[in-house]
C-alpha cells in the first residue's frame, strides 16, 4: 500500500524553473491515491499553468486569497487549508520562499497556509549552484529543519544556468519515495508482523454443495488495512470473500476450508507479534465429503457432522510473546460468554458482536462491538463503520502492547 493513499496533500509550488516538474509530481501523488490541493505563488504561474495542475489534481488550483475577477468571491481560508492537509509539500522551494518561511514573511496564500499549518511540512529546495551555496541559503536550510520542517535534499546535476552541481530539485519519483520512507519510519507498528484471518470457511458436502455462513470478510479486511496503515507487515488469511486489498501492501493467503485456514495460521503464527482472528470459521464439517454430486432422490438427507479444529484455542495454547485477539458473535448472555471464551482460549483481547444490535454482524458496512481485555477492562463501542471499528481495535492493540 502506498502510505499516501487517502492522505490530504497540499502541494505548494513556487516560482522556479523546476516548477515544470511539479505537474508530474501531482500526477504521481494522485496515482498513489492522495487527495491533492495545489497552491501556487502568484509568480509561479509564469512557469506552470493552473489549467495543467487542476486537470491533473482534479481540484481547482488556488493562488490568491480571493478570486480577483469576482469582487463577491468567498476568500480561500488559509487556516482551513492548513487544517485540511495531512502534510504539505513545497516543491520547488526557491531561495526566496525559504527566506520568507524562515523569517515569517506572509505575502501570499501559500505562506499564510504554511504559517497556519499544524501538519508536517516537506520542502524540496531548487535553485542555481551559487544561490544554493550562499551563506544565507545554508542558514535558512538549517533553521527550517530546526523548526521541524523536513528537507528533501537537492540533487547534484545540470542546472538551468548550465552549471553542474547541487541545487537541482529532487525528481518527482524521488520526492514521493522520500516522503513514504519518512512516514514509514514514524509509524507505530513498523517492524511488527500482524496476522489477520477473515471471511467464512466453506466445508464441502460434495463437489457442488457446502456448509458455510454469511460472513463477508469485510471486518477482517478492514483490520488488515488498518494494521498496514500503521506500518505493520500484514499477512491476511481469508476464506472466500469479494473484499479487496488492492493498493495495500498485504500478503493475502486464500483458503476455503477450516483445515486449510488452520494450516495457514499455524504456518505464520510463530513469526507474528499480533494475531487477530476475525474469521467466521465453521464449527462443524461433514464427516465424509462425497466425490460425486449427491442426487436428489429422497425426501430428506442425513449428514453426519464432526467438529473442525479450534484454530483460536490451538494458537492460544502455543502463544508465547504474541498478542492474541479473538472475536465472539453472541445472541444471548453476550458478556459472560465472551469472557468465558477469552479465558478458555488464552486471549489477550476479545471483540464481542451481538446480533441483537441493529447494524452489527455479518454482511453490512457497520458494526457495534465491545472490547473485553484479559485484565477485565470493558469498552463498549458505538455503531460505526467497520473501517472505524478496525482503527479503534488497532489503536487499542497498540496501546496494550506498548503498556
Q: Which CATH number fits domain 8-185: 3.10.20.30, 1.25.40.80, 3.40.50.1950, 3.30.565.10?
A: 3.40.50.1950
Residue 156's pLDDT is 86
99 pLDDT band, cuts 50/70/90, is very high
Could you read off the pLDDT of 375-393 as tens digits, one per residue?
A: 999 999 899 999 999 999 9
94 pLDDT band, cuts 50/70/90, is very high
Q: Is the pLDDT of residue 305 over 60?
A: yes
Could you read off the pLDDT of 164-177 as tens digits, one per residue?
A: 878 889 999 999 99
Residue 359's pLDDT is 66
**Averaged over 230-252, what is the pLDDT?**
92
Q: Is the pLDDT of residue 161 over 90?
A: no
Q: Is the pLDDT of residue 70 over 60?
A: no
In the chain, what percentage of residues exceed pLDDT 90? Answer: 75
Residue 247's pLDDT is 75
**Which secondary-structure segment (H or E) carries 80?**
helix 78-84
User: Do the domains spanning 8-185 and 193-401 agree at the CATH topology level?
Assistant: yes
CA–CA separation, 202 and 216 (whole Å): 12
Residue 246's pLDDT is 83
- DSSP-H helix ranges across 104-238: 109-116, 129-133, 135-146, 172-185, 218-229
CB 202 within 8 A of CB 256: yes
Residue 164's pLDDT is 81
Of the two residues 41 and 5, the one the predictor is more confident about is 41
**Which secondary-structure segment (H or E) carries 28?**
helix 22-31
Residue 27's pLDDT is 97
Can you tell me whether residue 311 is helix, strand or coil? helix
Distances (CA, A) of 108 to 4, 52, 54, 361: 27, 21, 19, 51
Residue 139's pLDDT is 97
Q: Which residue has the cell 499516501?
A: 4
Question: What does DSSP say about strands 150-151 and 121-125: parallel, antiparallel, or unpaired?
Answer: parallel
Q: Find the length of the chain.
A: 403
Residue 64's pLDDT is 84
Q: Which CATH number fits domain 193-401: 3.40.50.12780, 3.40.50.1100, 3.40.50.2000, 3.40.50.10300?
A: 3.40.50.10300
**Which secondary-structure segment (H or E) carries 22?**
helix 22-31
Q: Is the pLDDT of residue 128 over 90?
A: no
Q: Is the pLDDT of residue 327 over 80?
A: yes
Reported pTM: 0.78
Torsion, Cα of 282, 284, 290, 293 (10° steps): -50
Q: Is the pLDDT of residue 146 over 90?
A: yes
71 pLDDT band, cuts 50/70/90, is low
Domain locations in the chain? 8-185, 193-401
Among candidates 22, 27, 5, 21, which has minimal Cα distance to 110? 22
Residue 72's pLDDT is 53
**Averaged over 309-337, what is the pLDDT?**
93
Counting runs of H as helices and runs of E as strands, what totals does the chain give? Answer: 13, 21
Average pLDDT in the chain: 91
| Chain-centre distance for alpha carbon 300 | 50
Least confident of 58-72, 155-169, 279-293, 322-336: 58-72
With 0-12 CB in 10 A as exposed, 13-18 as middle and 19+ as buried, what is 337?
Answer: middle
Q: Is the pLDDT of residue 332 over 90?
A: no
Tell me the catalytic residues: 213
Q: In this structure, what DSSP letter does residue 107 have?
A: -
Amino acid at each position: 500500500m502506498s502510505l499516501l493513499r487517502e492522505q490530504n496533500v497540499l502541494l505548494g509550488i513556487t516560482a522556479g524553473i523546476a516548477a515544470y516538474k511539479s505537474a508530474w509530481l501531482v500526477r504521481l501523488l494522485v496515482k498513489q491515491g492522495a487527495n491533492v490541493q495545489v497552491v501556487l505563488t502568484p509568480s509561479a504561474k509564469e512557469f506552470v499553468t493552473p489549467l495543467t495542475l487542476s486537470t491533473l489534481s482534479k481540484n481547482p488550483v488556488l493562488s490568491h486569497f480571493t478570486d480577483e475577477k469576482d469582487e463577491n468571491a468567498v476568500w480561500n481560508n488559509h487556516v482551513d487549508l492548513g487544517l485540511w492537509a495531512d502534510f504539505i509539500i513545497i516543491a520547488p522551494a526557491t531561495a526566496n520562499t525559504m527566506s520568507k518561511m524562515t523569517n515569517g514573511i506572509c505575502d501570499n496564500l501559500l505562506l499564510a497556509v504554511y504559517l497556519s499549518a499544524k501538519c508536517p511540512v516537506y520542502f524540496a529546495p531548487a535553485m542555481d549552484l551559487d544561490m544554493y551555496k550562499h551563506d544565507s541559503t545554508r542558514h535558512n536550510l538549517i533553521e527550517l529543519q530546526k523548526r521541524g520542517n523536513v528537507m528533501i535534499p537537492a540533487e547534484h546535476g545540470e542546472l538551468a544556468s548550465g552549471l553542474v552541481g547541487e541545487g537541482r530539485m529532487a525528481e518527482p519519483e524521488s520526492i514521493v519515495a522520500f516522503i513514504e520512507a519518512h512516514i514509514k519510519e514514524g509509524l507505530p507498528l513498523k517492524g511488527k508482523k500482524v496476522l489477520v484471518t477473515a471471511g467464512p470457511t466453506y466445508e464441502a458436502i460434495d463437489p457442488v454443495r457446502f456448509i458455510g455462513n454469511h460472513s463477508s470478510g469485510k471486518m477482517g479486511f478492514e483490520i488488515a488495512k488498518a494494521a498496514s496503515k500503521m506500518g505493520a507487515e500484514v499477512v491476511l488469511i481469508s476464506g472466500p470473500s469479494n473484499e479487496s486489498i488492492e493498493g495495500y501492501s498485504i500478503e493475502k493467503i486464500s483458503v476455503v476450508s477450516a483445515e486449510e485456514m488452520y494450516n495457514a495460521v499455524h504456518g505464520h503464527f510463530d513469526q507474528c507479534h499480533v494475531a487477530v482472528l476475525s474469521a467466521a470459521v465453521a464449527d462443524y464439517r461433514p464427516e465424509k465429503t462425497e466425490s460425486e454430486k449427491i442426487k436428489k432422490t429422497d425426501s430428506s438427507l442425513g449428514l453426519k457432522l464432526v467438529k473442525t479444529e479450534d484454530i483460536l484455542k490451538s494458537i492460544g495454547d502455543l502463544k508465547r510473546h504474541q498478542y492474541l485477539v479473538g472475536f465472539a458473535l453472541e445472541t444471548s448472555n453476550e458478556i459472560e460468554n465472551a469472557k468465558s471464551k477469552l479465558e478458555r482460549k488464552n486471549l489477550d483481547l476479545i471483540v464481542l458482536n451481538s446480533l441483537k444490535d441493529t447494524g452489527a454482524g455479518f454482511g453490512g458496512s457497520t458494526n457495534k462491538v465491545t472490547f473485553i481485555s484479559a485484565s477485565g477492562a470493558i469498552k463498549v463501542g458505538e455503531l460505526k463503520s467497520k473501517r472505524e471499528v478496525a482503527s479503534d481495535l488497532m489503536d487499542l492493540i497498540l496501546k496494550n502492547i506498548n503498556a
